Amino acid sequence: MGNQGYHVAVVGATGAVGQQMVKKLEERNFPVKKLTLLASSRSKGKELVFKGEKIIVEEAKPESFSGVDIALFSAGGAISKTLAGEAVKRGAVVIDNTSAFRMDPDVPLVVPEVNEEDLKDHKGIIANPNCSTIQLVVALQPIRKAFGLKRVIVSTYQAVSGAGAQAVREMVEQTKAVLAGERPQAEILPVRSAEKHYPIAFNAIPQIDVFQDNGFTFEEMKMINETRKIMHFPELKIAATCVRIPAERGHSESVYFEVESDRATEAEIRSVLAGSPGVLLQDDRAGQIYPMPYFASGKDEVFVGRIRRDLDVANGFHMWVVSDNLLKGAALNSIQIAESLIRNQWL
Amino acid sequence: MGNQGYHVAVVGATGAVGQQMVKKLEERNFPVKKLTLLASSRSKGKELVFKGEKIIVEEAKPESFSGVDIALFSAGGAISKTLAGEAVKRGAVVIDNTSAFRMDPDVPLVVPEVNEEDLKDHKGIIANPNCSTIQLVVALQPIRKAFGLKRVIVSTYQAVSGAGAQAVREMVEQTKAVLAGERPQAEILPVRSAEKHYPIAFNAIPQIDVFQDNGFTFEEMKMINETRKIMHFPELKIAATCVRIPAERGHSESVYFEVESDRATEAEIRSVLAGSPGVLLQDDRAGQIYPMPYFASGKDEVFVGRIRRDLDVANGFHMWVVSDNLLKGAALNSIQIAESLIRNQWL
Please work out, in degrees rounded to the nearest 5, the angle formed at the alpha carbon of residue A43 by the alpha carbons of A26 and A205: 85
Residue B122 falls in the annotated catalytic set: no
**What confidence category does residue A207 fall into, taking pLDDT thresholds of 50, 70 and 90?**
very high
**Are the C-beta atoms of residues A131 and A162 closer than 8 Å to each other?**
yes
Whether residues B256 and A246 touch (CB distance < 8 A) is answered with no
Q: Which residues pair with A109 in a beta bridge?
A: A127
Length of chain A: 347
User: A258 near A315, Cβ under 8 Å?
Assistant: yes
A305 belongs to an annotated ligand binding site: no
- Residues on chain B touching A305 (C-beta within 8 angstroms): 206
- Report the topology of domain A133-325: Dihydrodipicolinate Reductase; domain 2 (3.30.360)
Q: Calculate the CA dihedral of residues B186, B189, B195, B198 and round it to 10 degrees.
A: -50
Beta bridge partners of B37: B10
Q: Are A290 and B246 within 8 A, CB to CB?
A: no
pLDDT of residue A145: 98
Q: Which fold has domain B133-158+208-325?
A: Dihydrodipicolinate Reductase; domain 2 (3.30.360)
Q: A94: pLDDT confidence band, cut at 50, 70 and 90?
A: very high
Helix axes B16-27, B165-179, angle to 10 degrees: 120
How many C-beta neighbours within 10 Å does residue A99 have?
21
B297 annotated ligand-binding residue: no
**Looking at residues A317-324, what average pLDDT do you find?**
99
**pLDDT at residue A3 in the model:** 65
Q: Is residue A85 classed exposed, middle or buried when 0-12, 13-18 and 19+ CB atoms within 10 A define those classes?
A: middle
The domain spans of chain B are 6-129+330-343, 133-158+208-325, 166-202
Q: Which DSSP string do the residues of A229-276 spell out, in sequence order?
A: HHTT-TT-EEEEE--B-S-SS-EEEEEEEE-S-TT--HHHHHHHHHTS
| pLDDT value at A248 more than 70 | yes
Q: Which residues, given as ranges, of chain B have pLDDT below 50?
A: none
Residue pair A69/A93 in contact (Cβ under 8 Å)? The answer is: yes
Find, in chain A, the residue whose alpha carbon is nearest to that of B209: A288
Say what percent of chain A tops pLDDT 90. Answer: 99
**pLDDT average, residue stretch A280-300:** 98
- Distance between CA atoms of residues B24 and B43, nearest Å: 21
A311–B214: do the CB atoms touch at under 8 Å? yes
How far is the C-alpha of B230 from the C-alpha of B241, rounded, in Å?
Answer: 19
**pLDDT of the residue at B266:** 98
Q: How many CB atoms lie within 10 A of CB B41?
A: 10
B131 is catalytic: yes
- A260 CA to centre of own chain: 28
Q: Which residue of A has its CA nearest to B200?
A: A294
Give CA–CA dist B308/B310, Å, rounded.
Answer: 7
Tens digit of pLDDT for each residue in A125-180? 999 999 999 999 999 999 999 999 999 999 999 999 999 999 999 999 999 999 99
- Would you state the pLDDT for residue B3? 65
**Measured between CB atoms, which of B252, B292, B308 is closest to A216?**
B308
Write down the catalytic residue from B7, B122, B131, B242.
Answer: B131
- Sequence-separated contacts (24+) of A214-219 with Cβ below 8 Å: A214/B308, A214/B309, A214/B311, A215/B266, A215/B285, A215/B306, A215/B307, A215/B308, A215/B309, A216/A240, A216/B308, A216/B311, A217/A242, A218/A99, A219/A130, A219/A132
The rounded distance, in Å, linking the Cα atoms of B89 and B75 is 19
- pLDDT category at A71 given cuts 50, 70, 90 is very high
Class of B6-129+330-343 in CATH: alpha beta
DSSP class of B209: S
Q: Is the ipTM of this complex over 0.90?
A: yes
8-state DSSP, A102: T
